[in-house]
Structure 1
Amino acid sequence: MIKVAMTGVYVDDVATAHAFYTHVLGFETRIHRDLGDGTSFVTVGAPEGGQPDLQLLLEPGRGPISEPYRRALYEAGLPCIVFSVDDIRAEYERLDGLGVRFTHPPQRQGPVLAAVFDDTVGNLVQLVQPGG
């Protein structure tokens, strides 16, 4: 069986992304290493009770491949990553109360309820609640 162990998301600024993904979204830091050249290797993951073996790598998003890719996704209104939640309305209210900017509130999209927000570091992120 093959399982996803780590996936990356390009961000404008790794330190700002780390703060947003931990302090606002509630992820925990898994790895935080200074690479000595002014960059950091940072991964976050779901807190206890989540997916202990899955990490999200916060990757520097400046470069000839990453910048056009991120810009095209953002301008098209497409999320770079999708997170599943148990109660999307409660999570929407919590994040909205923290000042997170949503492009749309929870709404039905086929078999899920979905909402999309700006992660403050150059990406749109989608929350889904299966069944909803």
Structure 2
Amino acid sequence: MKIHLSSVCVDDQDKALRFYTDVLGFRKKHEIPLGEHRWLTVVSPDDPDGTELVLEPDEHPAVKPYKEALVKDGIPVTSFAVDDVHAEFTRLRGLGVRFTQEPVDMGTVTTAVLDDTCGNLIQIAHTN
């Protein structure tokens, strides 16, 4: 068994697609119209046949309170692996990304947390 799809609930699919591709560097894999929304996925350019991230509309009534509670408590909704958190932090901050946690070395892992502009906190991490 392996992870095929994972979702992040976003408040605007167009804004999310721009952020996740133009800023974070993912590539669009699928964009299939489904009424007023789309089945919209992105993948890592390093693994185009790997796990897809669904940019899921946050329309369900339970999603917005859930997202707000996580953000209020500073809890990332997911984590992305990077080669060097410090380098990604510098690159992303240069692109105007807002971080809620600057890089922190925690022994075996270094992490930072960013705001994806779509209502989520996202952790980036690398193992030391």
Corresponding position of 1:119: 116
Query: 1:51 Cα shift?
Result: 6.0
- What is the TM-score of this pair, normalised by structure 1? 0.92
Corresponding position of 1:41: 39
Match of 2:125 among 118, 124, 128: 128
User: Secondary structure of 1:70's match?
Assistant: helix
What letter matches 1:33 in structure 2? I
- Report the Cα distance in structure 2 between the residues aligned to 1:65 and 1:109, rounded to whole angstroms: 33
Corresponding position of 1:89: 86
What letter matches 1:17 in structure 2? A
Instruction: Write the mapping of 1:58-69 to structure 2, written as runs, cut at 5 A.
Output: 58-69=55-66
Runs of 4 or more off by more than 6 Å in structure 1?
none
- 1:63-103 CA deviation, whole Å, 9 max, x = no partner? 21211111111111000010111111111111000000001
User: Secondary structure of 1:21's match?
Assistant: helix
Q: 1:110 to 1:68 in 2, by over 3 A?
A: farther
Q: Name stretches of at least 5 consecutive residues in structure 1 with no aligned partner.
A: none
Corresponding position of 1:31: 30
Taking only the aligned residue pairs, the percentage that are identical comes to: 43
- Report the Cα distance in structure 2 between the residues aligned to 1:40 and 1:113, rounded to whole angstroms: 34
What letter matches 1:43 in structure 2? T
Q: 1:51 to 1:30 in 2, by over 3 A?
A: closer
What letter matches 1:42 in structure 2? L
User: Secondary structure of 2:2's match?
Assistant: coil
Q: Name stretches of at least 5 consecutive residues in structure 2 with no aligned partner.
A: none
- What is the TM-score of this pair, normalised by structure 2? 0.95
- Report the Cα distance in structure 1 between the residues aligned to 2:60 and 2:123, rounded to whole angstroms: 24
Match of 1:77 among 59, 74, 79: 74
CA RMSD of aligned residues (A): 1.1
